[in-house]
Chains A and B, each alone.
Chain A
Amino acid sequence: MAKKLESLDKVTVKFAGDSGDGVQVMGDQFGNATAVVGNDFATLPDYPAEIRAPQGTTYGVSSYQIQFAAYDVYTPGDIPDVLVAFNPAALKVNLTSLKPGGTIIANEDEFTEQNLRKAGFSSNPLEDDSLGSFRVYRVPITRLTIESLKDEPVGHKDKERCRNFFALGMMCWLFSRPLEPSIEFLKKRFATKVQVMEANTKALKAGYNICDTMEIFPIHYQLPPAKLEPGKYRNVNGAFASACGLVVASHKSGLPLIYSGYPITPASETLEVLAALKQYGAVTIQSEDEISAITMAIGAAYSGAIGVTGTSGPGLALKTEALNLAVMTELPLIVFDFQRSGPSTGMPTKTEQTDLLFALFGRPAESPVIILSPSSPADCFWISIEAVRLATKYMTPVIVLSEQFLVHSSEPWKLPDLDKIPPIEVNFRTDPKGFYPYMRDEKTLARPWVKLGTPGLEHTLGGLEKSNIQGTISYEPENHDLMNKLRAQKIQKVAQDIPDAQIMGPADADVVVVGWGGTYGHIKAAIEMANQDGMKVAMVHLRYLNPLQKNLGDLLRRFKKVLVPELNLGQLSYVLRAKYLIDAIGYNRITGRPFYVSELLNFIKDEYKSLRMH
């Protein structure tokens, strides 16, 4: 029986369930299937902090949101059009952020009295009229899964566990996605557990077929492929892209890569990815604490390798003294700060951009470092390479301000031609003639880097102030003044070595929106909508936060209004005001989740209107 097929151009879907429901796997596989049909997309996984929270509780809900479209998308979507709720708790926590008139697909088998009570429902929302404004589909997903697997030689529990693939099959039917990528995935994932692989595959197909034959949904949808740039693509999240960038930088520079990290959410993923890339020579050390993580990286840098450490806010706080040691010894060191909600332990699995001022100023004394920030999951790859290039060229620590959102969020990545990535040239000093450890390159002010083991260049570095050029311990007042200024100037020199800031959007706009980090997609989407609505709004997104690009001040002064949305209380605004005396107008929210495009659009609209009224 042929079902009605309708075309859509953009959908946001959210899968939500218990953290043991396999929602993340389901989301990833739906993303892969979406990639294959050529839609553009972006994803946002959302984990609870609890690993296995008590079943059925609201704080145990894990979810995966994906926005996909027949055109470019920049964000995982604000609020879902379709919610797949595996239990009452998943419905409960997502009810407030669901589009009016949106679709709810609920696994009715889990809406038991006990589960309803755990989720805080006094009556079953599937049966009362509380969901009146939504289109609700009650599907006995668990029961149908088990029925479809009645002949499979796996236990009852294993059958139940296949319900995420059953639901995935349903969703693939609903949005006309192929099953093949998921079948391939199952073959690989359960290569040694053939029965489990077969059961999941069967559940996947059953979910698809049941929609085709039964009246579960009256309609299904297709989305034409987006017009993406030709090329080869893969889906990538920030953790993988950051790690890949480091490996590529290691090969492009010919330097060994030593990454030491102490487990901390959400930095651990990058350490984990790298730990599995040993075939590329990546050395990872799980250190005993945050301080040993950074000091091992400093030791590696002194030795002549790329020393990297990764952490999040609480860990960065512990690393500050060692960061200053790297500033003083002028060694290349890369510190990833995967920002998360703070202060203190805060909300470890949630995102925000609250460490910018800490990265800039959060160390005793004058302690300038380079600060970079990736704009999107795929950009994490490029920022890693840029961090290695600048750290080794300028002999300085680089802080990469990434974000929890970027670590987990994913998007299609047009795969680069690795041969076209320029080599990172590192010139180790080998000539003992005229060598001093703090002699400086005229252009960069960098001191020479010596691979330990090089004869004739033996020297001692350390945290004590050194005389410029000779590098001996110095308490000389004028020298200390000079060294402070040289360390600062060296970082400012980097501005000559990076591309100018670019305006995106209409050149004759009166309003510009300035952002940094993972808000790129949200701001871009809001800007496009604003311009479609007849406003003229431009955008500047910063990947270089220290030093700022040399044209930035002049560029921003061209606009009548400078809007700065940030997931903090105005940290970039503070910098722009201080540096350029610009009246930066902030939009500041710290909710633990990324911006909604709609709230940014409203902010832009309001500011745009008030500009017109003047």
Chain B
Amino acid sequence: MSVTEQEGQITYKWTDFKSDQDVRWCPGCEDYAILKAFQTALAELDIPREKHVVVSGIGCSSRLPYYMSTYGFHGIHGRPIPIATGVKVANPDLVVWVITGDGDCLSIGGNHLIHVMRRNVDIKILLFDNRIYGLTKGQYSPTSDKGMVNRTAPMGTVEEPVEPVALALASGATFVARTDAAYLKHLIHLIVEAHKHKGTAFLHIYQNCYVYNDGVFDDFTQRDVRDDRNLVLEHGKPLIFGKNRDKGLRFKDGMVEIAEFEPADPPEDITIFDETNLSLAFALSKLYWPRFPVPMGVIRRVEQPSFEELIYGQIEKAKQKFSTDLNKLIYSGDVWEVK
């Protein structure tokens, strides 16, 4: 093992987070990129490996825990969030990650997403969104585009897709971010940011499935167009985008419009991004190419006490207020003696 320990300092390399299992995703799948970004981020975090627990559901992405050298749990379809909640509540010292997909998290397990957000359990959710069911070979998912032709919708789907970021925000998320699997550095950065957040962190990752839904994000993620078609968010900075930094967003009277300007001279009414502004986050969550650039980065970040913090706070309070003598428990109520 290449871990060096010096006076309590551990230095990991990303390879220290690889398991001895062969990775079995399709060659060229973007899941490989996310796996590497995740391992790199964990090495960067420098937390003892045994403190990490990676919990997944079912689907292509959910195989990930087997490829990690940390503790892992490959659960059942749709349920990684409550499993992770149980792990974290039972031992809040652990760093708990959820690996899930669009089917796992938004369809069969959709209910849990809502409730983990409003509880603010200190777990980090990485949603691999490829807008298709890959493991079951190509049925439409809850994020598939309306009209998409696939095996269960040969004439095109008739359902509107769900927008994961908007759903998370509506459920009370305290940390929401988005990126694309191809943006390796950005992804690593956001994983680290998610970890820093105390509470539920939701990271929406666009991920290409080249077998069943190839190129679905190409329009705005290809190297030559992404700067013009992504809006990279920075807290406290104006919403400016474009290769030449010559476009910006202006929110006015409940409407949003794109302003074009000379790069050196952005107008003053370009909206300043504030990661604590929920209305702005909602508005941004609904922006999508081609009408608008696709927002990337931290969309919302606010501080709130975490679920387990509140639970153990109440337990401490009860311990101070009431006797912890077990005999008092069974001797509560009316007790009488038979001689």
Q: Does A454 contact B (CB under 8 A)?
A: yes
User: A277 to nearest B CB, angstroms?
Assistant: 7
Are A463 and B76 within 8 A (Cβ)?
Answer: yes
Are A299 and B329 within 8 A (Cβ)?
Answer: no
Q: Which residues of A have CB within 8 Å of B21? A: 472-473
User: A238 to nearest B CB, angstroms?
Assistant: 14
Are A232 and B337 within 8 A (Cβ)?
Answer: yes
One digit per residue, 1 when the CB lies within 8 angstroms of any chain A CB and 0 when it does not, for chain B 309-334 equals 00100110111011110110111111
Q: Give CA–CA (A35, B87) in the complex, Å.
A: 44
Q: Which residues of A have CB within 8 Å of B338? A: 38, 225, 228-233
Are A459 and B71 within 8 A (Cβ)?
Answer: yes
Are A181 and B334 within 8 A (Cβ)?
Answer: yes
Q: Which residues of A have CB within 8 Å of B91? A: 256, 303-305, 451-453
User: A284 to nearest B CB, angstroms?
Assistant: 9
User: A127 to nearest B CB, angstroms?
Assistant: 41
Give the contacts of B75-91 with A (CB-CB under 8 A).
Answer: 75-76, 78-79, 81-91
Q: Does A457 contact B (CB under 8 A)?
A: yes
Q: Does B205 contact A (CB under 8 A)?
A: no
Q: Which residues of B have CB within 8 Å of A460? A: 19, 54, 65-66, 68, 71-74
Q: Which residues of B have CB within 8 Å of A415? A: 330-331, 335
Are A295 and B82 within 8 A (Cβ)?
Answer: yes
User: B218 to nearest A CB, angstroms?
Assistant: 33
Contacts A232-B335, A251-B326, A292-B111; is A281 near B73 (CB within 8 Å)? no
Are B89 and A296 within 8 A (Cβ)?
Answer: yes
Contacts A297-B86, A303-B87, A458-B69; is A235 near B111 (CB within 8 Å)? no
Are B86 and A299 within 8 A (Cβ)?
Answer: yes
Which residue, of B90, B114, B326, B330, has the highest number of chain A Cβ atoms within 10 A?
Answer: B90
Are A453 and B51 within 8 A (Cβ)?
Answer: yes
Counting residue pairs across A and B whose Cβ atoms lie within 8 Å, the total is 206
Contacts A247-B326, A248-B326, A299-B87; is A230 near B75 (CB within 8 Å)? no
Q: How many residues belonging to B are interface residues under a CB distance threshold of 8 Å?
A: 63
Q: Which residues of B have CB within 8 Å of A464? A: 74
One digit per residue, 1 when the CB lies within 8 angstroms of any chain A CB and 0 when it does not, for chain B 74-110 equals 1110110111111111110110000000000000000
One digit per residue, 1 when the CB lies within 8 angstroms of any chain B CB and 0 when it does not, for chain A 562-588 equals 000000000000000000000000000
Give the contacts of A547-569 with B (CB-CB under 8 A).
Answer: none
Give the residue name and chain of the A residue nearest to B324 (CB). A279
Q: Does A325 contact B (CB under 8 A)?
A: yes
Are A299 and B74 within 8 A (Cβ)?
Answer: no
Q: Which residues of B have CB within 8 Å of A454? A: 50
Contacts A244-B330, A458-B69; is A299 near B111 (CB within 8 Å)? no
Give the contacts of A286-303 with B (CB-CB under 8 A).
Answer: 287-289, 291-293, 295-303
Q: Does A126 contact B (CB under 8 A)?
A: no
Q: Which residues of B have CB within 8 Å of A289? A: 111
Q: Which residues of B have CB within 8 Å of A301? A: 86
Which residue, of A297, A321, A458, A461, has the highest number of chain B Cβ atoms within 10 A?
Answer: A458
Q: How many residues belonging to A are interface residues under a CB distance threshold of 8 Å?
A: 71
Are B79 and A322 within 8 A (Cβ)?
Answer: yes
User: B35 to nearest A CB, angstroms?
Assistant: 14
Are B311 and A283 within 8 A (Cβ)?
Answer: yes
One digit per residue, 1 when the CB lies within 8 angstroms of any chain A CB and 0 when it does not, for chain B 198-225 equals 0000000000000000000000000000
User: A71 to nearest B CB, angstroms?
Assistant: 13
Are B335 and A230 within 8 A (Cβ)?
Answer: no
Give the residue name and chain of the B residue nearest to A456 (CB). B50
Q: Which residues of B have CB within 8 Å of A477? A: none
Give the residue name and chain of the B residue nearest to A225 (CB). B338
Are B82 and A296 within 8 A (Cβ)?
Answer: yes
Q: Does A418 contact B (CB under 8 A)?
A: yes
User: B58 to nearest A CB, angstroms?
Assistant: 8
Q: Give CA–CA (A451, B330) in the complex, Å.
A: 30
Q: Does B266 contact A (CB under 8 A)?
A: no
Are B82 and A299 within 8 A (Cβ)?
Answer: yes
Partner of B115 from the list A32, A277, A288 (CB cut-off 8 Å) is A288
Contacts A258-B89, A289-B111, A307-B90; is A458 near B324 (CB within 8 Å)? no
Q: Give CA–CA (A233, B335) in the complex, Å.
A: 5
One digit per residue, 1 when the CB lies within 8 angstroms of any chain B CB and 0 when it does not, for chain A 325-340 equals 1000100000000000
Q: Give CA–CA (A512, B50) in the complex, Å.
A: 56
Q: Does A534 contact B (CB under 8 A)?
A: no
Are B94 and A453 within 8 A (Cβ)?
Answer: yes
Q: Which residues of B have CB within 8 Å of A287? A: 82, 115
Are B50 and A457 within 8 A (Cβ)?
Answer: yes
Give the contacts of A161-212 with B (CB-CB under 8 A).
Answer: 181, 184
User: A275 to nearest B CB, angstroms?
Assistant: 10
Are A35 and B334 within 8 A (Cβ)?
Answer: yes
Are A322 and B71 within 8 A (Cβ)?
Answer: no
Q: Give CA–CA (A336, B76) in the complex, Å.
A: 21
Partner of A458 from the list B71, B319, B322, B329 (CB cut-off 8 Å) is B71
Q: Does B43 contact A (CB under 8 A)?
A: no
User: A605 to nearest B CB, angstroms?
Assistant: 34
Are B334 and A234 within 8 A (Cβ)?
Answer: yes
Q: Does A590 contact B (CB under 8 A)?
A: no
Give the contacts of A311-327 with B (CB-CB under 8 A).
Answer: 321-322, 325
Contacts A229-B338, A292-B112; is A304 near B330 (CB within 8 Å)? no
Q: Give CA–CA (A453, B53) in the complex, Å.
A: 9
Which residue, of B51, B78, B314, B326, has the highest number of chain A Cβ atoms within 10 A?
Answer: B326
Q: Does B49 contact A (CB under 8 A)?
A: yes
Q: Give CA–CA (A303, B331) in the complex, Å.
A: 32
Are B334 and A458 within 8 A (Cβ)?
Answer: no
Q: Does A155 contact B (CB under 8 A)?
A: no
Partner of A288 from the list B89, B111, B329 (CB cut-off 8 Å) is B111
Q: Which 3 A-B pairs have the closest CB atoms?
A: A299-B86, A462-B74, A460-B72
Sampled A-B contacts (29; CB under 8 Å): A32-B334, A35-B336, A233-B338, A248-B330, A256-B90, A278-B317, A278-B318, A288-B112, A292-B112, A295-B75, A295-B79, A295-B86, A299-B82, A299-B83, A299-B84, A299-B87, A300-B87, A303-B88, A303-B90, A305-B90, A322-B76, A416-B330, A453-B51, A455-B50, A460-B54, A460-B65, A460-B68, A460-B73, A462-B73
Taking Cβ atoms with an 8 Å cutoff, the residues of B that contact A are 19, 21, 48-51, 53-55, 58, 65-66, 68-76, 78-79, 81-91, 93-94, 111-112, 114-115, 311, 314-315, 317-319, 321-324, 326-327, 329-339
